Amino acid sequence: MCTVLFFLFRTADAEEPTSTKANPPRLSAAESLGMRAGRVLGAAKICQIDPERLQSIAKQAFAAVDEVGKSESDLASADRHMRDALNLGADDVKKGQITCEALQTALNRLEHQLKQRR
């Protein structure tokens, strides 16, 4: 069984072009912003930050992503990155990779950066 799984993974790796492995695609500005905001907001939810504040920051983040998105596909990808990052942020807190105190600083910084975009 292990040999079969190993073979499947090696076959999948062999089909992937080496240039993709060596140079993963760069995130667009919208995707990067979405990922960063999602991760901070996901962690903030676990830290029981005021839901109204989180909703306000989330709206600002989505608006900022809409501003910097280059196309419909870029916006859709940025939205997926943000939503996926919500879970990553929550996991960061649960695993002890970030404290709620440190998260508060990150949230304040994100909020400040989003307000400056207006």
Question: How many whole angstroms separate alpha carbon 60 and alpha carbon 111?
Answer: 8
Domain layout of the chain by residue ranges:
27-116
Identify the sign of the CA torsion 28, 82, 90, 116: positive
pLDDT surpasses 60 at 83: yes
Interacting residues of 68 by C-beta distance below 8 A, sequence separation 6+? 28, 29, 30, 33
Per residue in 17-62, pLDDT (tens digit) is 444 456 668 999 999 999 999 999 999 999 999 999 999 999 999 9
Backbone φ, ψ for residue 92 (5° rounding):
-55, -45
Q: How confident is the model at residue 9 (pLDDT cuts 50, 70, 90)?
A: very low
Q: What percent of the chain has pLDDT over 90?
A: 77
